[in-house]
Amino acid sequence: MAFTDTHCHLDLEQFNADRAAVIQRAVNAGVTHILIPSLTMTSSGVTAKLAESNSILYAAVGVHPNEAETWDGQTISALKNLAAESLKVVAIGEIGLDYYWNKSSHEEQISILKEQLNLAAELELPVVIHSREKDDAEHGECAEDLIKILEEWVSGLQSKNEALAQRPGVLHSFSGSIETAKSAIYLGFYIGVTGPITYKNAEKKRQVIGNLPLERLLIETDAPYLAPEPHRGKRNEPAFVLHIADKIAEIKSRTPQEVAAATTENAARLFSWGESV
C-alpha cells in the first residue's frame, strides 16, 4: 500500500534528533509523499529547503493566522519568490483563521488570508487551510467567515476559468460540522483527516467523515501533534498514517488498501506532484 501524509511539520525541533530516521520509517511504512506546511516566513524558507533534501518531501509556504503580527510589506513578495524558486513548493499554507487563540485580530487574520489566497491564484497553487473555532466549537463565526471568503475566492477563479478552481485546496485537520465540510467540498476542496478520528470520544468526528465521499478525503498526521491510537500522547510521525487509514476504512466499510489508494490519488490530484491520475 502507498500512503501520503499531506500535513507533517517535519521542520520542527521535535524531529531534530532523528529526522532522517523518521523519514526512513515513513518510507518503510509505504509513505511516498510528505507535505511540510509552514507557519511563518522564516519557517517557509526552512520547509522549502528541507523539501529539496529528500525525494518524498514537498513544501507549502505561507503565514499561519496565529503569526499574523509577523506580516509586513515584504512578506507577500518574499513568499512569491520562495515559491517560484522551487518545484518542491506545491501549495500555499498553512493559512486560514484561528478564533480559538485570537493571537491576532480577526481583521488582521482575514487580511493576510486574502492576500495569500490572491498569491495562490497568481501562482496557480492550492491552499492548505487552518480553521479553529472559539472554544473548539463544531461550528461558529470562524467557519462562517472562512467559507464566505473561500466562496468569493473560488468564484473569482471560476470567472477567469482558472484550472485552480478544480483543485483549490484542503481544509486541514477538519473538526467542523458536516455542513461546513459539504460547503467546502462543493467549492472543490478536500477534507484532511487526522489522528483524533481514532480516539474513543470522537464519534461525532467519525460520523462527519462517514458522510463525506472518499474521493474528497486526505490523510494527514499533523505530526508531531495529534498522534492516533495506539500512539496517543506520544510524538506523532508520518509512519502512523496507516492507523488513520485503518479507521477511515472501518468507518466507510472499505478496505485499508482502497482508502490508501484513494487518498494517495486525491493528494496527487490536488498537489500535482507527478502521479498519473
Per-residue pLDDT band for 111 (boundaries 50, 70, 90) equals: very high
Mean pLDDT on 163-185 = 97
What pLDDT digit, counting tens, does each position of 200-255 carry? 999 999 999 999 999 999 999 999 999 999 999 999 999 999 999 999 999 999 99
pLDDT tens per residue, range 45-84: 999 999 999 999 999 999 999 999 999 999 999 999 999 9
In a domain, 101, yes or no: yes
Give the chain's domain count.
1
Share of the chain above pLDDT 70, in %: 99
In a domain, 211, yes or no: yes
Domain assignment present for 276: no
- Burial code (b: 16+ CB inside 10 Å, e: under 16) for 165-182 equals bebbbbbbbbbbbbebbb
Residue 154 domain boundaries: 3-271
Q: Is residue 253 one of the residues assigned to a domain?
A: yes
Measured from the Cβ of residue 17, the count of other Cβ atoms closer than 10 Å reads 8
Please indicate, yes or no, if residue 277 is contained in any of the structural domains.
Answer: no
Q: Model's pTM, two decimal places? A: 0.96
User: Does any domain span residue 199?
Assistant: yes
Closest CA to 4 of 30, 24, 29, 33: 33
CATH number for the domain spanning 127: value is: 3.20.20.140
Residue 204 lies inside a defined structural domain of this protein: yes
Q: What is the mean pLDDT of residues 139-162?
A: 96
Residue at 22 is within a domain: yes
Which pLDDT band, with edges at 50, 70 and 90, does 121 fall under?
Answer: very high
| pLDDT the model gives residue 274 | 52
